Amino acid sequence: MTKDLWKAIDKNYLDLIVKPDPRFEQIQQNCVEAGLPTISISNTHGRLFELLVKVMGAKSILEIGTLGGFSTAWLASGLPFGGKLISLERDPERAILARENLNLFEFKAKVEVWVGDAIHNMTEMTKIDQPPFDLIFIDGEKSQYPDYLDLSIQLSRPGTLIIADNVVRHGKVYNKEIESPSQIGITKFHDMVAADPKLEATVFQTVGEKGHDGFSFIVVS
Ligand code: DHB
Ligand code: MG
């Protein structure tokens, strides 16, 4: 019942105020047809990301974990002409699908999907003249969140916003009896945030069509 209520409220505000471009629905349909798990962010959270990009005046975004390009499209929607988004995806087939999905839009910004191991690609970025990103969205392999955080900080400037998805997972992160690689990764991630005086952060719990979950919002100083 509770979850049905969360879903109904999401749907109400989706139809009333978010009113997403129909191409977001098309992306979701393409992902389902391709057999991808339905684990992308929701439309209501996608709009939040778009608005954050706009209010920050972000011009460069890094995303870790493209999946079918759904969150990528929402983030890119907020970028201005001349903006740039790089999304990292390990699975080549998912990257191809994501590129097709992103091609449904005419973004003002340049949007690229890079195939390969995110830790490898981020490490390479730190060695070249990659300018710091304004916003980094971490949504890849949960066990690797500590490494993503370390590299994200290296690819940041004072004021960069780092957002991490799935930091609550129906409370699983706090069930100390079941230790999974994801749980260990997310716990260590927050211990690192806590120990770094350069990071100001909060965890924002969410309920909705995706159940009970949460995002970490971290600002680098
Ligand atoms: C999973 C991964 C995600 O990024 C997500 O948003 C939900 C679930 C998963 O691997 O189960
Ligand atoms: Mg996620």
- Domains with residue ranges and CATH for the chain: 3-220 (3.40.50.150)
pLDDT at 182: 94
96 phi and psi, to 5 degrees? -65, -45
pLDDT at 31: 98
Which residue puts its alpha carbon closest to atom 2 of ligand 1?
39
Atom of ligand 1 at shortest range from CA of 65 = 4
pTM of the model: 0.97
**Ranges in the chain, pLDDT < 50:** none
pLDDT at 173: 82
Closest C-alpha to 71, from 92, 52, 55 = 52
Which run of H or of E encompasses 152?
A: helix 145-154
Q: Report the alpha-carbon distance of residue 123 to residue 35 in Å, rounded.
A: 31
Closest-approaching ligand to the CA atom of 169:
1
Which residue puts its alpha carbon closest to atom 4 of ligand 1?
139
pLDDT at 174: 81
- Candidate of 74, 166, 206 to mutate for ligand 1, largest count of ligand atoms within 8 Å of Cβ: 166
pLDDT at 91: 98
Contact in structure between 31 and 25 (CB atoms under 8 Å)? no
Sheet holding 84-89, edge to edge: 110-115, 84-89, 60-64, 135-138, 161-164, 213-220, 199-206
CA of 128 to the centre of ligand 1 (A): 31
Closest-approaching ligand to the CA atom of 216:
2
CA-CA-CA-CA torsion sign (176, 178, 181, 186): negative
List CB-based neighbours of ion ligand 2 within 5 Å.
139, 165-166
pLDDT at 69: 98
Q: Report the alpha-carbon distance of residue 36 to residue 15 in Å, rounded.
A: 25
Q: Report the alpha-carbon distance of residue 39 to residue 15 in Å, rounded.
A: 21
Closest-approaching ligand to the CA atom of 143:
1
